[in-house]
């Protein structure tokens, strides 16, 4: 199940990230600026987060494999629709569809993994799932750059009714197609028996009022947890989204070449981060640290800050690519443990709903990171090299804020872990 979920996350992030590869050709063909292109990621994030709430309610009650299968099929169609769009607003609406479809994956996965594994193994299992997202991002840049390079040199694709497709449009069509097949694989998997909190009786899912009561009891834990990882997400999404443009504008690389090199770095080194954070958390937990999950996520964010800023100052593209190796390990390290730190303090009958609410909060970082950096590029640091100063500013502000919030969260989280020990 975890292997197939990793592939689902991989496909999801390919379809999510491909827009970052075709920024400049899209801008030229659609006649829009950096801020509007950034909002193609932002609008995805809004609907990804909002749709997750009702989907999570269903995931605590209905078949999770069917929910995921439907989601994969829908977001794959929406990705293809991005490539068939004729103007900016058509792409905008299609990206909403991608967000709604991908909203099925995290809540349903959190609930599934919680029923497949004992409590002490959940953080590592969910961190392994997160590697699919990271590998998907890397493969998106590799395949997207490869496909973009091919279609730029090939004869134009002409479809009935839709007419001729530009290279960036063809890229969306090609990367969206594999998900249509993966959706059917989920129909063959086993739906696990649901676990229930000791003494709570047999229930399919917690009502919303009970979830709200859980949030009130753990208000400080969840507030600092959510806002801390939100800040790190904003930093990370801005950094990754504008990477290809950074190499194009600052170092003179072509988009396809920069995308493929960065994609291989992301693919090979990115998964090390969340797995390393999960193993660190387990080692600290064995030593009696109930705040181990928070410490592991916080350290990754802390070390990522100087690495991202350092990349902006190196004199050549070669040195920048070298520094991207540790940067990708560190930037990705908080996010597996961020998700995985919640099911271990959450009653089983509400795990999907709590995961969805966390998605809603942290998706603000996904929503605001790319367009905020784009606005900085246009309004505060105009010019080809402005992207580097935008990334320095956002990293310094939101990276530091995230680390401070997670430092505060440690003690509150430890108390929530102790409370959860009593009912598992």
3-state secondary structure (DSSP) of residue 164: strand
Task: Give bridge partners of residue 163 from the DSSP assignment.
Answer: 159
Residue 202 lies inside a defined structural domain of this protein: no
Predicted pLDDT at 202:
44
**Of 309 and 161, which is predicted with more confidence?**
309
Place of tokens 């990206």: 95
Residue 130 tokens read as: 């997160």
Residue 389 lies inside a defined structural domain of this protein: yes
| 375-386 average pLDDT score | 84
- Helix then strand count (H, E) for the chain reads 19, 2
Q: Tell me: the pLDDT tens digits for 337-359? A: 898 899 888 887 888 788 888 88
| 145-166 average pLDDT score | 72
**Of 232 and 148, which is predicted with more confidence?**
232
CATH of residue 40's domain is 1.20.1250.20
The residue segments making up the domain with residue 61 are 2-188+207-421
Residue 195 lies inside a defined structural domain of this protein: no
Task: Give bridge partners of residue 164 from the DSSP assignment.
Answer: 158
| 361-374 average pLDDT score | 81
**Of 301 and 424, which is predicted with more confidence?**
301
- Tell me, rounded to whole angstroms, the distance of Cα 110 from its chain centroid: 14
> Confidence band (pLDDT; 50, 70, 90) for 130?
confident
Backbone angles phi, psi at 165, to 5 degrees: -105, 130
Rounded CA-CA distance 405/302 in Å is: 12
pLDDT at residue 200 tops 50: no
Rounded CA-CA distance 350/62 in Å is: 13
Rounded CA-CA distance 273/24 in Å is: 30
In the chain, the largest separation of any two C-alpha atoms, in whole Å, equals: 66
Q: Tell me: the pLDDT tens digits for 225-257? A: 999 999 999 999 889 888 888 888 888 888 778
Rounded CA-CA distance 97/101 in Å is: 6
Q: What residue spans of 165-271 are helical by DSSP H?
A: 167-176, 178-186, 208-217, 219-241, 243-251, 255-269
| 307-328 average pLDDT score | 91
Residues 6+ away with beta carbon under 8 Å from 120: none
Residue 201 lies inside a defined structural domain of this protein: no
Predicted pLDDT at 329:
93
Predicted pLDDT at 152:
67
| 403-412 average pLDDT score | 96
- Indicate the Cα dihedral angle 105, 107, 113, 115, nearest 10°: -130
Q: What residue spans of 242-350 are helical by DSSP H?
A: 243-251, 255-269, 272-286, 292-311, 317-340
Residue 168 lies inside a defined structural domain of this protein: yes
Residue 200 lies inside a defined structural domain of this protein: no
| 249-267 average pLDDT score | 83
Residues 6+ away with beta carbon under 8 Å from 272: 329
Domains held by the chain: number? 1
Asked if 55 and 48 touch (Cβ cutoff 8 Å), the reply is: no
User: ∠ at Cα 191 (188, 193), nearest 5°?
Assistant: 160
Asked if 383 and 83 touch (Cβ cutoff 8 Å), the reply is: no
Average pLDDT of the residues of the chain:
85
Asked if 168 and 29 touch (Cβ cutoff 8 Å), the reply is: yes
Residue 128 tokens read as: 């392994």
For 120, 230, 325, the CA distances from 221, given in Å and listed in that order, are: 19, 14, 32
Residue 198 lies inside a defined structural domain of this protein: no
pLDDT at residue 377 tops 80: yes
Place of tokens 């379809």: 15
Rounded CA-CA distance 272/281 in Å is: 14
Element (H, E) at 159: strand 157-159
Predicted pLDDT at 154:
66
Q: Among the ranges 99-113, 126-140, 154-168, which has the highest mean pLDDT value?
A: 99-113
| 92-112 average pLDDT score | 89
3-state secondary structure (DSSP) of residue 56: helix
| 279-300 average pLDDT score | 92
Residue 196 lies inside a defined structural domain of this protein: no
């Amino acid at each position: 199940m975890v292997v197939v979920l990793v592939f689902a996350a991989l496909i999801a992030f390919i379809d999510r990230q491909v827009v970052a590869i075709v920024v400049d050709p899209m801008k030229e063909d659609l006649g829009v600026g950096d801020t509007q292109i950034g909002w193609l990621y932002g609008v995805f994030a809004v609907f990804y987060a909002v749709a997750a709430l009702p989907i999570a309610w269903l995931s605590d009650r209905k078949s999770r494999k069917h929910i995921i299968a439907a989601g994969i099929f829908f977001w794959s169609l929406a990705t293809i629709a991005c490539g068939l769009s004729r103007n900016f607003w058509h792409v905008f609406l299609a990206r909403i569809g991608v967000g709604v479809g991908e909203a099925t994956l995290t809540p349903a996965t959190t609930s599934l993994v919680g029923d497949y594994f004992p409590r002490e193994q959940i953080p590592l299992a969910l961190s392994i799932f997160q590697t699919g997202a990271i590998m998907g991002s890397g493969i998106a840049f590799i395949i997207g750059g490869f496909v973009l390079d091919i279609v730029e040199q090939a004869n134009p694709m002409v479809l009935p009714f839709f007419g001729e497709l530009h290279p960036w449009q063809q890229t969306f069509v090609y990367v969206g197609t594999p998900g249509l097949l993966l959706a059917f694989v989920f129909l063959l998997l086993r739906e696990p028996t649901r676990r229930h909190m000791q003494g709570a009786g047999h229930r399919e899912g917690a009502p919303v009022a009970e979830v709200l009561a859980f949030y009130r009891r753990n208000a400080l834990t969840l507030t600092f947890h959510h806002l801390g990882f939100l800040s790190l997400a904003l930093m990370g999404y801005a950094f990754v989204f504008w990477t290809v443009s950074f190499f194009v504008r600052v170092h003179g690389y072509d988009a396809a070449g920069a995308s493929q090199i960065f994609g291989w770095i992301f693919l090979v080194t990115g998964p090390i981060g969340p797995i390393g954070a999960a193993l660190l958390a387990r080692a600290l937990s064995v030593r009696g640290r109930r705040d181990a999950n928070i410490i592991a996520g916080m350290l990754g964010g802390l070390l990522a800050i100087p690495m991202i800023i350092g990349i902006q100052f190196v004199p050549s593209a070669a040195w920048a690519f070298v520094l991207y190796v540790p940067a990708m390990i560190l930037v990705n390290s908080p996010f597996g443990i961020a998700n995985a730190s919640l099911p271990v303090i959450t009653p089983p009958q509400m795990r999907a709903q709590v995961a969805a609410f966390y998605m809603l909060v942290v998706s603000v970082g996904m929503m605001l990171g790319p367009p905020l950096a784009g606005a900085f590029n246009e309004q505060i640091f105009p010019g080809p090299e402005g992207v580097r100063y935008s990334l320095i500013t956002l990293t310094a502000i939101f990276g530091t804020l995230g680390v401070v919030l997670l430092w505060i969260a440690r003690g509150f989280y430890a108390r929530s872990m102790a409370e959860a020990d009593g009912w598992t």
